[in-house]
A and B are shown apart, each in its own frame.
Chain A
Amino acid sequence: MVAALALAGALDYSQFLSEYSRSADQFQMGAQTARFGDALAALPADGKVGYISDVPAGEVQGQAMLGAAQYALAPRVLVPLKRGGSADWAVGSFTRPNEAPGMAAESGLVIVSDYGNGVVLFRREPRR
């Protein structure tokens, strides 16, 4: 009886897994990490890199975007930039890319390259 119940449960569970596998990557980590492919080559190999986003890091979506960027760009250490942050390089992950220039200006950064898909590379403006 125990074996029969466990087997029937296994059958049911395997059907659940089959359905679940269609939406398993709920944060789309595969796509997220691929977005940063071009930025990887332009950034220094390690060290601290600033991070800017239009989604606050306090929100779940913002945490997921930061986490995906950090995973894709490791071993660089991403440091979310507040105004006046000191990293020479910064990477942006935007849901609304048209906000990038404004946010860059507020942080004293200039856009180096817009890779599309919401990924933007910034560099600190040289001090005058």
Chain B
Amino acid sequence: MTGLLAFLVPLVAGWCLAAAALAGRRIDPPWAARVLEASLGAGAGVAISSIAFFVLTLIGAASPAAILAFNAALLAAGLFAFWRTRRRTLPGSAEATARPAFRWNWLLALALVAGFALVAYGLVSVSAANPFGEWDAWSIWNLRAKFLAAPGDAWRGALSALPEKAGMHPDYPLLLSGFVAMVWKAAGDTAPWVPQLTGFLFLALVLTLLASALTALRSLTSALLAGFILLSSTSFLFLATMQYADLPLSFYCLASITLLLLAEAAPKCLVLSGAFASFAAWTKNEGVAFAVFLTLAILAVERRAVRRFLAGAAPVLGLVICFKLFLAPAAEPLFKQSAAHLAHKLADPARYAQIGKALVVEAYHLGQPWSHPLLLLAILALALRFRIDPAGARAWRASAAAVALVFAAYCGVYLITPSDLAWHLQTSLPRLYGQLWPSFLLLAFLTLDVPGATAAVAASRPPRKPRERGRK
């Protein structure tokens, strides 16, 4: 019971905080706004409680009582902020409610729910049969959570610099391990349901965030069709059973991009976008690359916006930098190679060919051949054609550039990896696709001219105030 409370309270507190932070920004329709707030808030709650637990651990104050007290304070702060900002909530715009809706949306929604129920049942069966998750779950993420949840100074084992522990990647950021450890410590045991449920939580959050974001930014039909593409992305769905940090990372990247797109109409969302990018950096090293590239992309597209973005990102990015500089052992072998070795690899055409082939093979394995997500996307593109909303074009360009740069960086790492290239590609490429897949789907559907789609960013923009006459 204590464990369940420690798991759920941060999600509810995050929801209240997100609802308060987004109050006053017109997001239509209202149900999509509520789902968006809940998805973003639950993800933020996981991140905040994970960070708080890590800080409590660092100062030697992480006890079940301290964890529950912090969670209670977070919930109280969330409820207070929610209550304070309720009065600023705006009604849905008439423009949005007048959007022409696709008449078969109800049937699409029914089919989508049935499809996800079917797949969710299968995924839960796999997770029940394999409660400790896949290899990296028990050798990295949950193992480090066990160290963090242990009494006394034993948490330092999660950052062990022993060469034998290099496979545990003690330099990896701690969002997932920290959240799991927080619940374990509060509960007083290390029950496998915590990482199991966390995996399914993030799958649900990706789905609800993608659906609500597309409903708000384009149309319900866009959201439903994107849901079908996600349903057919079998290698992505399987991440829920693995208990790895790739699925949470995909959520935080998607959340940051969603808020960047919403910021076209409500610039204050830039601060939240920065915060979620920093949560991505606290999740995995790839998240650090995402935060850096998104910052650069925003800088290139609209220099003034980067200040707000960085204001949101700074606190947790500061923590990540301190963690990397002062706590985590320098365990990344990528940076320990000689220049001559690197040059040799960069000049080897066979490595380019091997990576190119693996990119194609793993793209093929994203789904089943005849319901492959890229095939379904191609069908939609042919049937619907493209229409980029000029009102959201800058944020779209920055987001797309960031996703492309992160993907290019992944390919660059493969080129110079000190590990066996075939092994490295085989064990990581499907997960790297998964990290960016929801963001790619969001950006792809924003370019499709789906029935019922409107210039939603423009529609969600608050009406201009009439210029006051005689104002000094």
Point out residues on A near B: beta carbons under 8 Å: 1-3, 5-18, 20-22, 24-25, 27, 29-30, 33, 45-46, 63-64, 67-68, 70-71, 74-75, 77-80
Contact = CB atoms under 8 A, between A and B. Distances in A.
A20 B368 CA distance: 15
A9 B147 contact: no
Nearest to A23: B129
Interface string B120-157: 01110110111110010011001100110011111101
B108 interface: yes
B142 A71 contact: yes
A77 B368 CA distance: 42
A9 B108 contact: no
9 contacts: A1-B379, A6-B231, A6-B376, A9-B371, A21-B128, A46-B153, A71-B143, A74-B146, A74-B150
Contact of A46 (B125, B138, B157, B370): B157
Most buried by A among B122, B129, B153, B164: B122
Given A7-B111, A25-B132, A14 B139 contact: no
B111 A3 contact: yes
Chain A interface mostly: helix
A13 B240 CA distance: 14
Nearest to A78: B164
Interface of B: 108, 111-112, 114-116, 118-119, 121-123, 125-126, 128-132, 135, 138-139, 142-143, 146-147, 150-155, 157, 160, 162, 164-165, 167, 225, 228-229, 231-232, 234, 237, 241, 367-368, 370-371, 375-376, 379-380
A9 B376 CA distance: 11
B232 A5 contact: yes
Contacts of A2: 225, 228-229, 376, 379-380
Contacts of B167: 63
B376 to A, nearest CB: 5
Nearest to A33: B132
A14 B379 CA distance: 24
Nearest to A64: B135
Contacts of A16: 122
Contacts of A67: 135, 138-139, 143
A11 to B, nearest CB: 6
Contacts of A74: 143, 146-147, 150, 157
Contact of A71 (B138, B157, B228): B138
Given A9-B231, A11-B118, A25 B138 contact: no
B151 A45 contact: yes
A7 B111 CA distance: 7
Contacts of A25: 129-132
A20 to B, nearest CB: 6
- Which 8 pairs of residues, A with B, have the shortest CB-CB distance? A9-B371, A17-B122, A75-B150, A75-B154, A24-B130, A6-B228, A29-B132, A14-B122
Contacts of B121: 14
Given A2-B376, A21-B122, 15 more contacts: A2-B228, A2-B379, A6-B228, A7-B111, A10-B116, A10-B231, A14-B118, A14-B122, A21-B126, A21-B130, A70-B139, A77-B160, A77-B165, A78-B164, A79-B164
A14 B119 contact: yes
B167 to A, nearest CB: 8
A80 B164 contact: yes
Contacts of B234: 9, 13
A15 B368 CA distance: 13
B114 to A, nearest CB: 7
Contacts of B370: 5, 8-9
Contacts of A29: 130, 132, 138
Most buried by B among A2, A5, A7, A64: A2
Nearest to B158: A75
Contacts of A46: 150, 152-154, 157
Contacts of B108: 3
Contacts of B146: 71, 74-75
A113 B297 CA distance: 61
A85 to B, nearest CB: 11
